[in-house]
Amino acid sequence: MIAWKKLFNSFIFAFTGIIKTFKSEQNFKIHIMISVIVILTAVTLDFSSLRMAVLLIVIGIVLALELMNTAVEKTVDLMTLERHPLAKEAKDAAAGAVLVFSIFAVIIGILLFIEPLLRSIES
Helix axes 26-44, 49-79, angle to 10 degrees: 180
Residue 31: strand, helix, or coil: helix
Q: Is 83 annotated as a binding residue?
A: yes
Active site residue 122: no
**How crowded is residue 112: how many other Cβ atoms within 10 Å of its Cβ?**
20
State the catalytic residue, choosing from 66, 89, 115, 122. Answer: 66
Q: Is 74 annotated as a binding residue?
A: no
Whether the Cβ atoms of residue 8 and residue 16 lie closer than 8 Å to each other: no
- Mark 53-82 with x for binding to ligand ATP (rule: CB under 6 A) and - for no binding: ---------------------------x--
- Mark 82-111 with x for binding to ligand ATP (rule: CB under 6 A) and - for no binding: -xx--xx--xx-------------------
Distant-in-sequence, close-in-space partners of 27: CB < 8 Å, separation ≥ 6: 66, 69, 98
Q: Is 92 annotated as a binding residue?
A: yes
Q: Which residues bind ligand ATP (CB under 6 A)?
A: 80, 83-84, 87-88, 91-92
